[in-house]
Structure 1
Amino acid sequence: MNSITESSSPYNNLEKLSVQELLEGIHNEDKKVLPAVEKTMPEIEKLVTELVPRIKKGGRLFYVGAGTSGRLGILDASEIPPTYGVGYDLIIGIIAGGDQAIRKAVESAEDDENLSWQELQKYNITEWDTVVGIAASGRTPYVIGAVKNAREQGILTACITSNPGSALAKNVDIPIEVIVGPEFVTGSTRMKSGTAQKIILNMITTTLMIQIGRVKGNRMVNMQLTNEKLVERGTRMIVEELGFSEEKARRLLLMHGSVQKVLEESGKG
């Protein structure tokens, strides 16, 4: 298989370039990401369309990855509960090497094809769950093992990869192949490939949260009030929506715990 993600960078002698030249080169490569993502829109739409009813029936979304890909899956999963007020068991990120691999690389962790399925089984995975494998190369054994075993069990599977026709893509129901081309630094898929993954993960979960009713208008009405900034934001939402004074809005927000609950109590939820 021709590996685009391992292909030589179109730039050479990087160490001889000025800071300006390096930054311009990186930026010019980054410009290729959005058009590549746009080409995958039909596959992203298909995934979310199939994902929504599964989540409504009690299913969960699992991200499985290694290295940068695994970290991005965990990042996306960890941001959804405070942003939309859902449980931490709705979207779950799993990384080769376990939690310690979030900060430091764990040697050879991604080479075990059976380990990921063993870890998924700890969550009592069911037919309503969805497994998305994330791997820029499309050949990471740990990720392939997860989707391969899940698919054999009738579980919906998808992947995000930056190489066409990969082993990973061949083992999922919905392959999202976002072809961003060779990296500025040859093989450094934390760059364009990682950026594309982050964009697509944002699209998947944001659309999912809106579809299952966690947004009203364009507001995060179910966000957790974890700091003063968010309390102030929630207070403004209630003032704008219900016309209450700021003092009353803040009091009701802190009493009920979310903007959505205040709106429901006021008959506008």
Structure 2
Amino acid sequence: MTQPIQERGHLLTEQVNPLSQNLDQLSSLELVELFNQEDARTISAIAIAKNELAQAIDATAQALRQGGRLFYVGAGTSGRLGVLDAAECPPTFCTPPDLVQGIIAGGAAALIRSSEDLEDRREDGVATIAHHQITERDVVVGITAGGTTPFVHGALQAARQRGATTLFIACVPRDQASIPVDVDIRLVVGPELLAGSTRLKAGTVTKLALNILSTGVMVKLGKVYGNRMVDVAVTNHKLHDRALRMLQDLTELSREQAAQLLESSGRSVKLSLLMHWTGLDRATATQLLTTCQGNLRQAVLSHPSTAAIES
């Protein structure tokens, strides 16, 4: 049976921006200036949502510490942004591939070819939660610029029924698209310069929010020391160079010594630092890190020879 088409004209993301009524008549420079002016709204929107973003970081970090996983669920641009953020976690923070996962309506094919009609299938959202065997330990983040995507709503409802922690990211006010979730993040950036094209400001502010969420969670999980990505996966020349520079900066070793240390640790920056600072061998340092749940600072401060290192 064909479902009636839902009226969405009241949504902020669907409205016409009065500043761009003559968009097709602007010079290239005027167009760039207008986009730049409007994109500034994304920074303000993040600031307004700072408390909810902080709640999301804390809730997600707690879940992952207890063995849970983080899932992003979306369609179209929102889904692609979730998949992108998930894909960047393993190389940046050396996380296992299943710890942070992106789910997009239409699956992998939708990443490169538009499958916008699939976002209307609420039942697919429900099914994907069952397919990934979501439990009460997991976190599910629903991402939808307009706040009404049936695929996302179905997934969140199913996740809640399974006891998972649920987060919602949308670019419309709560009264335009309400949903029962644990943390409701609204990134209100106003109408797009190209009416309804939420790959613009809405996409930009969503990417900013996901950057903050995933990085904040990884910081809380001890995958960062100071502002260094000490859990980086050393998988190519660029990352190998970055690892050596981190070791040199934090230990004052020469590049050659840093390279030897990195190899002796199995190419783990975090383990290299702990071995260097404590004098422990690789196996003992690994055990200490495990005891401290992978938190380098805690491991350093828990060892008698390094307890005096500035925290």
Which band: TM-score by shorter chain? over 0.9
Which structure exhibits the higher relative contact order, with contacts defined as CA atoms closer than 8 Å and separated by 6 or more residues?
A: 1
Instruction: State the Cα deviation string for residues 140-195 of structure 1 (Å, max 9, x = none).
Output: 00001001111122211111101112676413221101110000100010010011
Q: Is the 8 A contact 2:134 2:162 kept in 1?
A: no
Q: Is the 8 A contact 1:139 1:166 kept in 2?
A: no
Q: Which residue of 2 aligns with 1:4?
A: 12
User: Which of 270, 273, 286 does residue 263 from structure 1 map onto?
Assistant: 273
User: Which of 45, 49, 54 does residue 63 from structure 2 map onto?
Assistant: 54
Q: Which residue of 1 aligns with 2:250?
A: 241
Counterpart mapping for 1:144-163 below 5 A: 144-163=153-172
Q: Which residue of 2 aligns with 1:113?
A: 122
Q: Is the 8 A contact 2:11 2:176 kept in 1?
A: no
1:62 and 1:167 map into 2 onto residues whose CA distance is 25
User: What amino acid sits opposite 2:243 in the alignment?
Assistant: G
Report which of the two structures shows the higher radius of gyration computed on alpha carbons: 2
1:171 and 1:101 map into 2 onto residues whose CA distance is 27
Q: Is the 8 A contact 1:138 1:166 kept in 2?
A: no
Across the aligned residues of Structure 1 and Structure 2, the Cα RMSD in angstroms comes to: 1.5
Q: Is the 8 A contact 2:83 2:101 kept in 1?
A: yes
Q: Which residue of 1 aligns with 2:85?
A: 76
Q: Which residue of 1 aligns with 2:142?
A: 133
Instruction: State the Cα deviation string for residues 30-82 of structure 1 (Å, max 9, x = none).
Output: 01111111111111111111111110010011000000000000010000110
SS state of the match for residue 174, structure 2?
Answer: coil
SS state of the match for residue 223, structure 1?
Answer: coil
Question: TM-score under structure 1 normalisation?
Answer: 0.96
Q: Which residue of 2 aligns with 1:229?
A: 238
Q: Is the 8 A contact 1:139 1:168 kept in 2?
A: yes
Q: Which residue of 1 aligns with 2:225?
A: 216
User: Which of 187, 198, 201 does residue 178 from structure 1 map onto?
Assistant: 187
> Which piece of structure 1 moves more, 135-144 or 117-126?
117-126
2:147 and 2:183 map into 1 onto residues whose CA distance is 13
Unaligned runs of 5+ residues in structure 1 are: none
Q: Which residue of 2 aligns with 1:202?
A: 211
Dislocated runs of 4+, deviation >3 Å: 166-169
Q: Is the 8 A contact 1:231 1:250 kept in 2?
A: no
Query: What is the percentage of aligned positions where both structures have the same residue?
Result: 41
Question: TM-score under structure 2 normalisation?
Answer: 0.83
User: What amino acid sits opposite 1:5 in the alignment?
Assistant: T
What is the number of residues matched between the two proteins?
269
Q: Is the 8 A contact 2:122 2:155 kept in 1?
A: yes
Instruction: State the Cα deviation string for residues 99-137 of structure 1 (Å, max 9, x = none).
Output: 010011115111110112212222221101011100001
User: How much does 1:89 deviate?
Assistant: 0.6
User: What amino acid sits opposite 1:64 in the alignment?
Assistant: V
1:160 and 1:132 map into 2 onto residues whose CA distance is 7
